[in-house]
Amino acid sequence: MPRKISSEGPAIIGGLLPGDAARKRDRNTRRHSTLLSGLRSAADLDRLEFPPLVEHVPHLITEGFGILAGPPKAGKSWLTGGIALGCAYGGTVLDKIHVDPRHVLLLALEDGPRRLQSRMRHLTEGAALPKRLDILTEIAPGTVIATISEWLELHVDDENRPLVILDTLGKARPQRRAGDDPYIADYQLGSRIKATVDALPGAALLAVHHTRKMASEDWLDSVSGTQGIAGSADYILLLRRKRKSDDGTLAVTGRDIAENEYAVTTDNGRWSLDGMDILDAAATVTTRAEQQQNRLGDRSLDAVTFVNSRATTTPKDLAQHLGIDNRIAGNLLAKLRDGGYIEQPARGVYTAPLGGETGESGENAGQPQDPLPAISPVSPLSPLDGEAEEHAP
């Protein structure tokens, strides 16, 4: 016998039919007990409030994991030494960027105490070194990330979040096992470092890294290793300087930082912005390019651009590109080499300038080279005004 259906229809619970209510309860249960436990709506996200992003060095270094890349002997250690000192004192970095005082850990794993002392005394012109700057030049193999984590735990209550400088990233890289995918290995390393510094919101970790020798149209591709390194970082800085030149550039790009390129210069081992402020330093990059074009002329500028776009260039390559005689192309390349616009690593072979500085070793490392005034002894920093150290905690 057919079942009778009430003329009033099925009961409605909270605006839903019984089956609909059960399905909604089931969805809510699964949302809180499955892989969707972190699911939120865009409306929920819109209601969240976050603290402002911490800029340790405005426009350059923010909270999170960053990389400072550059060619070997380009002055990266001098630059990071200046950053460490400036942030520990509280004063200026690159001579023009004001920074708040904070605790800094410098892992100078490619320097000994003698060299580091000499460099820092030179950078501060003999002023007392800051108490807020902690230094390690040696740590047990395989303990870099654990060491950083332990130091960060000492500063969880700091009002101004701490900064870690790792010189270099290669010291934290474990031996890659046979068969490991290089990209995955690089990304996993970067992700571990990022997770370590992100565990303390507002803290920053800047790792020094090298660039590859091959020139690239996109400067981000010049970071050594696979793209897993750059991909895992929150921001990338690239320091470039031609050999025998005091002028360089510092390019930056990242997830939470404005992409730009700033002109910098080194004076007897100290890096500073080339401009009245950081915006003026960005304009100086354009001014330098225009001045170089005026000096070189169209053909020479075309030749430099061609060489910079390739791994290697021969006079024959340039002759075919410009439609000139091989001998004329060879003479042009030689002049550009002598002017420091390109380099010649082997006979008849030319490359883009790798950047660099004079070498350093032993107890003379970091000292100005008086006999060679045209060659910068390396470079970075920001002179500091030696703010009273008695205020350091």
CATH code of the domain covering residue 318: 1.10.10.10
Residue 235 is predicted with a pLDDT of 96
Give dist(CA 100, CA 391) in Å, integer: 13
Task: Give φ, ψ of 62 to 5 degrees.
Answer: -115, 175
Q: The tokens of 279 are what?
A: 């915006």
Give dist(CA 256, CA 386) in Å, integer: 31
262 and 306 part of one domain: no
246 and 297 part of one domain: no
Residue 16 is predicted with a pLDDT of 54
318 and 174 part of one domain: no
Residue 25 is predicted with a pLDDT of 63
85 and 226 part of one domain: yes
Residue 100 is predicted with a pLDDT of 97
Residue 384 is predicted with a pLDDT of 34
Q: Are the C-beta atoms of residues 59 and 260 closer than 8 Å to each other?
A: yes
How many structural domains does the chain have?
Answer: 2
Residue 380 is predicted with a pLDDT of 32
Mean pLDDT for back-to-back runs of 10 residues, the chain (393 residues): 50 56 62 77 95 96 95 89 97 96 96 94 95 95 93 97 93 76 86 96 94 59 70 93 87 93 92 94 90 77 90 92 89 89 91 56 35 29 34 38
99 and 184 part of one domain: yes
Domain of residue 297, residue span: 287-351
175 and 257 part of one domain: yes
**Within a domain: residue 282?**
no
CATH code of the domain covering residue 157: 3.40.50.300
| pTM for this prediction | 0.70
Residue 371 is predicted with a pLDDT of 32
Residue 179 is predicted with a pLDDT of 76
Q: Are the C-beta atoms of residues 164 and 197 closer than 8 Å to each other?
A: yes
**Within a domain: residue 264?**
yes
Q: Is 273 helix (H, G, I), strand (E, B) or coil?
A: strand
Give dist(CA 273, CA 276) in Å, integer: 8
161 and 254 part of one domain: yes
272 and 293 part of one domain: no
Give dist(CA 60, CA 339) in Å, integer: 31
Residue 382 is predicted with a pLDDT of 33
**Within a domain: residue 64?**
yes
172 and 304 part of one domain: no
> Please, where are the H alpha helices in the chain?
18-33, 42-47, 76-89, 113-123, 144-153, 182-198, 227-232, 278-308, 315-322, 326-338
Q: Are the C-beta atoms of residues 107 and 143 closer than 8 Å to each other?
A: no
180 and 317 part of one domain: no
Residue 17 is predicted with a pLDDT of 56
239 and 170 part of one domain: yes
> Please, where are the H alpha helices in 48-169?
76-89, 113-123, 144-153
315 and 216 part of one domain: no
